[in-house]
Amino acid sequence: MDRTQLLLTLSIALFCLGLVGVMIRRNALVMLMCMELMLNGVVLSLVTFAAHSGTLSGAVLVFLVFVVAAAEIGIAIPIVLLLARQRHTLDVGAYSGLKG
C-alpha cells in the first residue's frame, strides 16, 4: 500500500468515524465535533489528491474550507448555547417540537 492509498484510507476512516458519531451520539456538542471530524476527513482526501496530481489548487481550497468551517462553528456554538440555556440539556431528543 503506497502513501496515497494509506492517506485516503485514513480520510475515509475519519469520515465514517464522524458519520457514525453524528448518528449515534445524542449530545449536541459531541455531534458538532463529529461533524468537524467528517469535514477533516474530506479535507484530507482533498490534500491527498492535490499532492498526488502535483498541483497547488487543492491545498489552497483547503484554507477556504477551513474558513467556512470556522464561520459555521461560530454560528453553531451560539445556537447550541441558546438551546442549552432554554432546556438545560444538550440531548437533541429534547428538541423535537417541530415533529409532525
Partner 1 sequence: MRMDLLTLIVLLPLAGFFLNGLLGPRLGKGFVSVVGCGLPILAFFATLRAFTQLQASDAGALAETAYTWAIVGDFRFEIAFWFDRLSALMTLIVTGVGSLIHIYSTGYMKDDPGYARYFSYLNLFLFFMLLLVLGRSLLVCFVGWEGVGLASYLLIGFWFDDPAKAAAGKKAFITNRIGDAGFLLGMFLIYHALGTLDFDAINAAFNGPVAPAVSASLVGLLLFVGATGKSAQIPLHVWLPDAMAGPTPVSALIHAATMVTAGIYLVARLNGLYLHAPEASQVIAVVGLATAFFAATIAVVQTDIKKVLAYSTVSQLGLMFLALGVGAYGVAVFHVYTHAFFKACLFLGAGSVIHAMSGEQDIRKMGGLAKKIPITFVTFAVATAAIAGIPPLAGFFSKDEILWFAFASEYGGSPVLWALASFSALLTSFYMFRLLWLTFLTPSRMDHEAEHHVHESPVSMTGVLVVLAILSAIGGFFHVYDFLEPVMPMPVENEALEHLKLPLIGIAIAVAFAGLAGAFLVYRGGLATAERLQQRFAGLHRVLSGKYYVDELYEAVLGKPLHWVSEHVFLNVGDRTLIDGSLHGLTSLAQRTAGRLSRVETGNLQFYLLLAVIGVALSLAWMWGNG
CB of 16 to partner 1, least distance (A): 10
Pairs from 19-24 (Cβ < 8 Å, separation ≥ 24): none
Q: Which is nearer to partner 1, 54 or 97 (CB)?
A: 97
The runs of H, that is alpha helices, within the chain are: 3-24, 28-53, 57-87
- Which cell numbers in the block locate residue 73? 462553528
> Considering the complex, what minimum distance in angstroms separates the CB of residue 97 from partner 1?
8
Q: Minimum CB separation from partner 1 for residue 96, in Å?
A: 3
List residues near partner 1 by CB under 8 A: 19, 22-24, 26, 92-93, 95-100
